[in-house]
Amino acid sequence: MKRNEFSSHVLKWFDQHGRHDLPWQQNPTPYRVWVSEIMLQQTQVSTVIAYYLRFMQTFPTLKKLALANEDAVLDHWTGLGYYARARNLHKAAKIILEKHRGEFPETVDELIELPGIGRSTAGAIISLSKNLRAPILDGNVKRVFARLIALDQPTTEKTAQTILWNLAEELMPKERFNAYNQALMDLGATLCTRSKPACAACPVQQFCAAYQHNAVEGYPVKKAKPTKPEKSVFMLLLENAQGEIFLQKRPPTGIWGGLWSLPEIDDEKSLAQTCRQKYALKIINTKKLNPIKHVFSHFVLHIQPIRAQTKPLSARVSETDSQIWYNKRQSPPGGFAAPVLKLIKDYDNDATR
Ligand code: SF4
């Protein structure tokens, strides 16, 4: 991909279709561009505009912002979210006033020393306000570039960052840095969107590897989610001669705390012994029902239900506050965890077959 060709396609598109009338594009001083860039992090242009205008009315200069109290600054941020952005903006304004005598730094290296300003924001500030040569790589631009070269790793990887920054440097034109960076942002926000990008209208589709391979949906490559640990358990549907099933109430804390559940064993071989010793029940016969899987936030539980007909070893297994024989025709004794409810229903279907 030739640098000149790429950037000239981007710039030509920007001249015709880019956004030229955003409030921060009028009189684009470093201060005004900076405030807009911070507000635009994690927030869409359409939401930012009203906040930006109000903020600029109250804090038209860096000095006004630096001398304001934090509550007033936060008040102007209410509803925008991510309040650390506002606190950092305020802190950075004070630093510029005190350490740089109110003069906005003009190099990326100086800017990234300030709270809340990363390399891409620094690049945007000096390119958009001063037309200086500095690449940007915000979330939208990362997505465009990742598709452009069909990057085979998530953009969050360290090596991916290096590849993308090198590409951002490489593709910069020799002039019109402000228009080019704004164009990239616009391209990412309006055409090369996260889902259903408008490739048919894209000025760089001929350079785009993902498009050429008909694989746009696959980029940027997603980060693999860490797999959750898996556990297995046998849940017992112990049935008496009256067709009732044995329920236990779980302890008040922990998983399914205070809900009614079924007896559990870890090892199928211990079934008869556990029933004899813990519940004074003799197993007459058993049947495995369909297993189910339940996904918790931190692990996956595989449940193998076992239906077992039982006989009491003593006169009747005593019921307590935390263990009962449950007759399905009666109302439930309390809450059931979702998978337990499903198991009881499945059991019911199996029993009536
Ligand atoms: Fe994005 Fe499609 Fe353009 Fe490639 S062709 S840069 S995927 S909009």
Q: List 260's β-bridge partners, or say none.
A: 249, 336
User: CA 162 to CA 155: how far, in whole Å?
Assistant: 10
Give the pLDDT of residue 35: 98
User: CA 165 to CA 186: how far, in whole Å?
Assistant: 18
Q: Which atom of ligand 1 is nearest to the CA of 197?
A: 8
User: CA 152 to CA 218: how far, in whole Å?
Assistant: 10
From 1, 190, 205, the mutation candidate for ligand 1 (largest count of ligand atoms within 8 A of CB) is 205
DSSP three-state, residue 95:
helix
Percent of the chain beyond pLDDT 90?
72
| Average pLDDT over every residue of 45-63 | 96
| Token pair listed for 184 | 């990239």
Per residue in 212-269, pLDDT tens? 999 999 999 998 887 889 999 999 999 999 989 999 988 877 788 888 899 999 998 9
Instruction: Answer for the pair 133, 107: CB distance below 8 angstroms, yes or no.
Output: no
Give the pLDDT of residue 353: 55
Question: How much distance in Å is there from the Cα of 186 to the middle of ligand 1?
Answer: 12
Instruction: Answer for the pair 262, 247: CB distance below 8 angstroms, yes or no.
Output: yes
User: CA 246 to CA 308: how far, in whole Å?
Assistant: 10
Ligand 1: residue whose CA is nearest its atom 1 = 192
State pTM to two decimals.
0.67
Residue 303 has pLDDT above 80, yes or no: yes
Question: How much distance in Å is there from the Cα of 148 to the middle of ligand 1?
Answer: 7
User: CA 35 to CA 43: how far, in whole Å?
Assistant: 13
Instruction: Answer for the pair 210, 219: CB distance below 8 angstroms, yes or no.
Output: yes
What is the average pLDDT value for the chain, to the nearest integer?
Answer: 91
Residue 316 has pLDDT above 70, yes or no: no
Give the pLDDT of residue 318: 67
pLDDT band at 332 (very low <50, low <70, confident <90, very high): confident
Ligand 1 lined by 144 (C-beta under 6 Å): yes
Give the pLDDT of residue 143: 97
In this structure, the strands spanning 245-249 and 300-312 are unpaired
Residue 317 has pLDDT above 70, yes or no: no
pLDDT band at 39 (very low <50, low <70, confident <90, very high): very high
More confident residue, 262 or 71: 262
Question: How much distance in Å is there from the Cα of 333 to the middle of ligand 1?
Answer: 58
**Catalytic annotation present for 230:** no
Instruction: Answer for the pair 90, 55: CB distance below 8 angstroms, yes or no.
Output: no
Q: List 239's β-bridge partners, or say none.
A: 245, 309
Give the pLDDT of residue 319: 72
Question: How much distance in Å is there from the Cα of 214 to the middle of ligand 1?
Answer: 10
In this structure, the strands spanning 245-249 and 264-265 are unpaired
Q: Which atom of ligand 1 is nearest to the CA of 201?
A: 8
Per residue in 99-157, pLDDT tens? 999 999 999 999 999 999 999 999 999 999 999 999 999 999 999 999 999 999 999 99
Per residue in 177-192, pLDDT tens? 999 999 999 999 999 9
| Token pair listed for 24 | 């921060």
Ligand 1 lined by 204 (C-beta under 6 Å): yes
User: Cα separations (Å) of 204 from 11, 129, 191, 210?
Assistant: 11, 26, 11, 11
Residue 75 has pLDDT above 90, yes or no: no
Among the options 37, 110, 169, 264, which is catalytic? 37
Which residues are CB-contacts of 115 (< 8 A; sequence separation ≥ 6)? Answer: 88, 91, 92, 95
Backbone angles phi, psi at 182, to 5 degrees: -65, -40
Chain centroid, CA 18 distance in Å: 29
Q: Which atom of ligand 1 is nearest to the CA of 198?
A: 8
CB atoms within 10 A of CB 157: 14
User: Cα separations (Å) of 331 from 245, 290, 328, 336, 341?
Assistant: 13, 25, 7, 12, 13
Give the pLDDT of residue 315: 66
Question: How much distance in Å is there from the Cα of 192 to the middle of ligand 1?
Answer: 5
Ligand 1 lined by 216 (C-beta under 6 Å): yes
| Token pair listed for 296 | 């918790």
Ligand 1 lined by 122 (C-beta under 6 Å): no
Question: How much distance in Å is there from the Cα of 208 to the middle of ligand 1?
Answer: 6
From 142, 208, 213, the mutation candidate for ligand 1 (largest count of ligand atoms within 8 A of CB) is 208
